[in-house]
Amino acid sequence: MKKSFFTTTTLFIMMVLVATLSFAAEKKAANDSTKPATASAKTQLLDINTATEAELKAVPGIGDANAKKIIAGRPYKKKNELKTKDIVSTDVYDQIKDKIIAKKAKK
């Protein structure tokens, strides 16, 4: 009787441990799958110093006129020059600032 109770209790504890470990592994795998998406989002920034007019117009908030003004005002040292040089309005800049970058020209 004691041996049966001990065996049953031990098996129950082992099953609980295995279930806990499997749930922890699933949660970690789900968290890891979201990290590459954030990393790739950062690499999708559009360089305002090299982008074509069509690429600029594809950014929400930049129309024909703004795209032409951005190209005409090149080169930019920093992306906030679009706002400080009055190339685009503050509202437009606030819309696009997370989607653009101003890379320095290679010599």
- Please report the beta strands in the chain, taking only residues with DSSP state E, as ranges in sequence order: 46-47, 100-101
Examine residue 107 and state whether it is found in any structural domain, yes or no.
Answer: no
Structural domain boundaries, residue 64: 46-101
Query: What pTM does this model have?
Result: 0.60
Q: Indicate the SS3 state at residue 40.
A: helix
Percent of the chain past pLDDT 70, that is, above it, reads 81
Q: Are residues 58 and 82 in the same domain?
A: yes
Examine residue 73 and state whether it is found in any structural domain, yes or no.
Answer: yes
Q: Is the pLDDT of residue 34 over 60?
A: no
Q: For residue 63, give both structure tokens.
A: 């129309």
CB atoms within 10 A of CB 88: 23
Tell me which DSSP letter residue 87 carries: S
Q: Are residues 55 and 72 in the same domain?
A: yes
Q: Give the C-alpha distances (Å, rounded to integers) separating 19 from 12, 24, 27, 33, 54.
A: 11, 9, 13, 22, 53
Examine residue 106 and state whether it is found in any structural domain, yes or no.
Answer: no
Give me the CATH number covering residue 67.
1.10.150.320
pLDDT tens string 77-87: 999 999 999 99
